[in-house]
Chain A
Amino acid sequence: MGNLNFRPLWRYQDAIIEGIITTLWLTLIATLAGLIIGTICAVVLRRGPKPIRYLIYTYIEVIRNTPPLIQIFIVFFVFPGFGVRLDPFPAASIALSLYFGAYASEIIRSGLDSIPRSQVEAGHCLGLSSLQVFVHVVLGPALRNIYPSITSQIVLVLLGTSIASQISTEELFHTAGFIDSRTFRSFEVYALIALIYVLLVTAFRLLFALIGRVAFRWPTRR
């Protein structure tokens, strides 16, 4: 039976903190890029030309039906195939952005669909332009409707950054492996890393709850 000894881990505090920072950066980049990709896809899927729509359907279904680990390998190895050496962090960022983008596009699409046509009609009948209707009538309620789904998905991306460790991106999970190989205190290392992830996830959820309360102040349907 083993004894718990966390002390050897404290030497690696800095490495752990750097790992957390890298994890957060990856999450941020994947979230922002993914939202942009997702929005473009959602809009094109609603009113784009047929061949491009099929292309996007393919992209979304491929992402959703293959393991993210394989996706990150392919992104990592696709560039050397064209003679460009890609560093782990950019490769991981691209792969995670594409991953989140596919899921985000579905969420955003359902958000746009959730606004009744009658609202849009009312906006147009007041003499507003299509852009004005989108910004002032559709956007707010649509964002509120997708908020729970999109924030859950962002938390999944946060957890998914751990996969980047497999192409040697130095995020938190990779750091865990590194410390384990130096201290051999596997139990303590992975227990600690698990705890850190739980704390990060909880912090994200609280932050999202707070933002939600501030941003969406109007009463919901009784």
Chain B
Amino acid sequence: MALVEIRNVQKSFGSLKVLHDVSLSIEEGEIVTIIGRSGSGKSTLLRCINALEEIDGGEILIEGQKVYGKMPNLKELRQRVGIVFQSFNLFPHLKVERNITLAPVLTGRVSKKDARDLALSCLAKVGLQEKIDSYPEQLSGGQQQRVAIARCLAMSPHLMLFDEVTSALDPELVGEVLKVMEDMARQGMTMILVTHEMGFARNVATKIVFMHQGRVWEEGPPAELFENPKTPELQAFIGSTRQV
């Protein structure tokens, strides 16, 4: 059974249909990168996976469990699915340690006594142990995003979602975040990313999904998709994002 099953999903915002009959299957340990132009529906699809957006048709299953906005165990599901946002969304009034340990302590995952150790180990994975007592405002964008990743890791998720997590960063800070994500991939985390970082998509992803006008336009391993794009839309997209 696949970790994530997306079957015939439809989604509209008012009269604007954003997702038309999207189907996708993600196995455990896969690194799936969703690429496409703005407006192709990629972020919306990602946000439907953990029910931040409500789907209008079809179904989404995570570990065999149906996901929808009013599901009874939504809280528990979200404790197993981590999401990292484009604008980091760290809590400004809490220090880094508390940002990371807030959810684990409140959901009973770790005792208050062991909380700091948990924070240190998560920060070690993203290389920011020394910042444990800083406030988010005191960190650079790249550091804040790495803390956001550490915050998710503290909940030991089965699945990680990344919503254009490097798009809001200054170019020189992108690398440190991508490195952390590569480490996570190597350690077997199941990851679904929406990104414009083609380098990451080529080198780290196990499957690329190209979306266009709310549909899965092409899907396959990076080598295949990037070397032999079958559709003109993907060819145009690759052409326009070709990096020197």
A125-B52, A129-B75 as given contacts; A118 in contact with B89, CB under 8 Å: yes
- Rounded to whole angstroms, the CA-CA distance of A71 and B138 in the bound complex is 49
- Chain A residue numbers with a CB within 8 Å of B93 are 140-141, 144, 216, 218
Closest residue to A124 on the B side, CB-wise?
B78
Total contacting residues, chain A, CB less than 8 A:
23
Contact B106 A121, beta carbon cutoff 8 Å: no
B227 within 8 A of A: no
A125, A126, A141, most chain B CB atoms within 10 A: A126
A65 within 8 A of B: no
Contact B137 A126, beta carbon cutoff 8 Å: no
- Rounded to whole angstroms, the CA-CA distance of A132 and B91 in the bound complex is 13
Q: Between A and B, how many residue pairs show CB distances below 8 Å?
A: 65
A126-B78, A129-B75, A132-B106 as given contacts; A219 in contact with B135, CB under 8 Å: yes
Closest residue to A136 on the B side, CB-wise?
B102
A218-B94, A218-B135, A220-B137 as given contacts; A128 in contact with B89, CB under 8 Å: no
- The stretch from B37-45, B79-87, B213-221 touching chain A is B79-87
- Rounded to whole angstroms, the CA-CA distance of A122 and B137 in the bound complex is 17
A137 within 8 A of B: yes
- What distance in Å separates the Cβ of A143 from its nearest Cβ neighbour in chain B? 9
Contact A128 B137, beta carbon cutoff 8 Å: no
- What distance in Å separates the Cβ of A192 from its nearest Cβ neighbour in chain B? 44
Contact A127 B75, beta carbon cutoff 8 Å: yes
State which of B89, B107, B135 has its C-beta within 8 Å of the C-beta of A122. B89
A218-B135, A219-B135 as given contacts; A128 in contact with B91, CB under 8 Å: no
State which of B76, B79, B137 has its C-beta within 8 Å of the C-beta of A222. B137
- Chain A residue numbers with a CB within 8 Å of B135 are 218-219
Contact B79 A127, beta carbon cutoff 8 Å: yes
B50 within 8 A of A: yes
- Rounded to whole angstroms, the CA-CA distance of A125 and B151 in the bound complex is 11
- What distance in Å separates the Cβ of B157 from its nearest Cβ neighbour in chain A? 10
Contact A128 B106, beta carbon cutoff 8 Å: yes
State which of A118, A124, A126, A141 has its C-beta within 8 Å of the C-beta of B151. A126
Against A, the Cβ 8 Å flags (1 = close, 0 = not) of B61-76 are 0000000000000011
Q: Which residues of A contact B (CB under 8 A)?
A: 118-119, 121-129, 132, 136-137, 140-141, 144, 216, 218-222
Given contact pairs A127-B76, A136-B91, A140-B93, a sample of 18 additional A-B residue pairs in the complex whose CB atoms are under 8 Å apart? A118-B85, A122-B89, A122-B90, A122-B91, A126-B78, A126-B79, A126-B102, A126-B103, A127-B103, A128-B103, A128-B106, A136-B94, A216-B93, A218-B93, A218-B135, A219-B135, A221-B92, A222-B137
CB-based closest 9 A-B pairs: A127-B79, A122-B89, A126-B103, A140-B93, A219-B137, A127-B78, A218-B93, A125-B83, A118-B89
A-B contact pairs, 9 of them (CB 8 A): A118-B87, A119-B91, A122-B90, A125-B82, A126-B78, A136-B106, A141-B92, A218-B137, A219-B137
